């Protein structure tokens, strides 16, 4: 099995990105992502529209992934797909397609946990990127999840702390909405933050026990702050946008780093990997890079293409499971809630 060339077709459809990738062992041959623009006018993902767009996108995206990889579907060793967590309608499209194609080609089917895949994306072989050794701590940060995970090996993970309410990505997007920025607003907050004074407006940090997070209180305090200031000055947001965004980002990054420091102290593990859409954020990347020199951590920051939802991260889990002969049968169903 070690010397065998394994080709995995991976499918990701957990939210609003349709993605397909072809892996040759632990290397990415292709990683195609079709984003859905329709949600922008609604200010957030509309589940029904997302699932319909997946149905339109999935065949051309898979076709493009195979063509770019220069692989015929008859060469595939297995099909890996996101089983969950995610939006049920979206997951059903990817799950149904993967099951049908695996059945038609008479090859194994491999189910993948989306959050586990964000963590294991660090094991995709890339030039100039190092992979973590076990055990390490993973901070998964996205629009739907915020977790600190103790990773003992590829398939032995323990959630040490998670958000009790909103995810960090939601805090970014809701803050952007309060400021009148278009969806998705998280990247825009990051963009403006780089031009502002991070200590211009202090926001409170929630007091949450252990390694858990909470972001709903921060969102509320930002809302009340903006309402109060715009009442005094209707042009407050326009005149202070960079400073407001910088202050929001500074607070969020501090919340995340405080919990990570606590997790390192609690476990004694100084290897930190990040994953998920928010790991593309410049403030978080900078804070982790500085932690290497400040506290002696070893940090692992993924390539931008592996931060947001993509099928290559599903493919690397598929490859690792293939080596273990860990396959699913045709009775497998999608799971909207699926713990690591």
Q: In 70-111, where does DSSP find H-type helix?
A: 88-105
pLDDT at 297: 96
State the pLDDT at residue 1: 55
142 is in an annotated binding site: yes
**Rounded Cα–Cα distance for residues 133 and 136 (Å):** 7
- Taking the C-alpha atoms of residue 162 and residue 47, their distance in angstroms, rounded to an integer, is 24
To the question of whether residue 329 is assigned a binding role by annotation, the answer is no
140 is in an annotated binding site: yes
- Determine if residue 26 is labeled as part of a ligand binding site: no
> Does 16 count as an annotated binding residue?
no
Average pLDDT per consecutive 10 residues, the chain (340 residues; last block may be shorter): 85 94 98 85 80 93 98 97 96 97 98 96 93 96 92 97 94 94 92 96 94 95 97 97 98 97 97 94 94 94 91 98 96 93
- Give dist(CA 323, CA 327) in Å, integer: 10
* pLDDT score at 2: 59
Amino acid 177: pLDDT: 94
CA-closest candidate to residue 87, choices 131, 136, 53: 53
Alpha-carbon gap, residue 263 to 266, rounded angstroms: 5
Quote the CA–CA distance of 70 and 76 in Å, as a whole number: 12
- Cβ atoms of residues 85 and 159 within 8 Å: no
284 is in an annotated binding site: no
- State yes or no: 165 annotated in a binding site: no
Structure confidence at residue 311 (pLDDT): 98
Enter the tokens of residue 230: 């715009």
Determine whether the annotation assigns residue 281 to a binding site. Answer: yes
Distance CA 57, CA 53 (A): 6
Q: What is the pLDDT of residue 340?
A: 86
């Amino acid at each position: 099995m070690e010397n065998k060339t394994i080709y995995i077709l991976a499918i990701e459809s957990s939210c609003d990105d349709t993605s397909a990738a072809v892996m040759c062992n632990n290397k990415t041959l292709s990683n195609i992502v079709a984003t859905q623009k329709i949600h922008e006018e609604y200010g957030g993902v509309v589940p029904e529209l997302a699932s319909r767009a997946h149905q339109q996108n999935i065949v051309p995206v898979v076709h493009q992934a195979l063509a770019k990889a220069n692989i015929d579907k008859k060469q595939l060793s297995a099909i890996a797909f996101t089983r969950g967590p995610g939006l049920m309608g979206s997951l059903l499209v990817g799950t149904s397609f993967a099951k049908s194609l695996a059945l038609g080609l008479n090859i194994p089917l491999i189910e993948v946990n989306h959050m586990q895949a964000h963590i294991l994306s660090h094991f995709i072989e890339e030039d100039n990127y190092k992979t973590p050794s076990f055990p390490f701590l993973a901070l998964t940060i996205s629009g739907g999840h915020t977790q600190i995970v103790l990773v003992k090996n590829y398939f032995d993970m323990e959630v040490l702390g998670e958000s009790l309410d909103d995810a960090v990505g939601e805090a970014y997007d809701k803050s952007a909405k309060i400021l009148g920025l278009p969806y998705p607003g998280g990247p825009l907050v990051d963009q403006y933050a780089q031009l502002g004074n991070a200590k211009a407006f202090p926001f409170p940090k929630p007091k949450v026990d252990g390694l858990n997070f909470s972001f709903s209180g921060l969102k509320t305090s930002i809302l009340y702050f903006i309402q109060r200031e715009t009442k005094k000055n209707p042009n407050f947001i326009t005149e202070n946008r960079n400073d407001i965004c910088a202050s929001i980002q500074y607070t969020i990054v501090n919340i995340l780093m405080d919990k990570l420091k606590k997790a390192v102290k609690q476990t004694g593990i100084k290897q930190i990997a990040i994953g998920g859409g928010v790991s593309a954020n410049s403030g978080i990347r900078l804070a982790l890079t500085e932690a290497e020199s400040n506290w002696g951590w070893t940090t692992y920051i993924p390539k931008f293409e592996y931060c947001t939802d993509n099928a290559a991260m599903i493919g690397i889990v598929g490859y690792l499971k293939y080596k273990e002969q860990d396959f699913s049968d045709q009775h497998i169903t999608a799971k909207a809630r699926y713990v690591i």
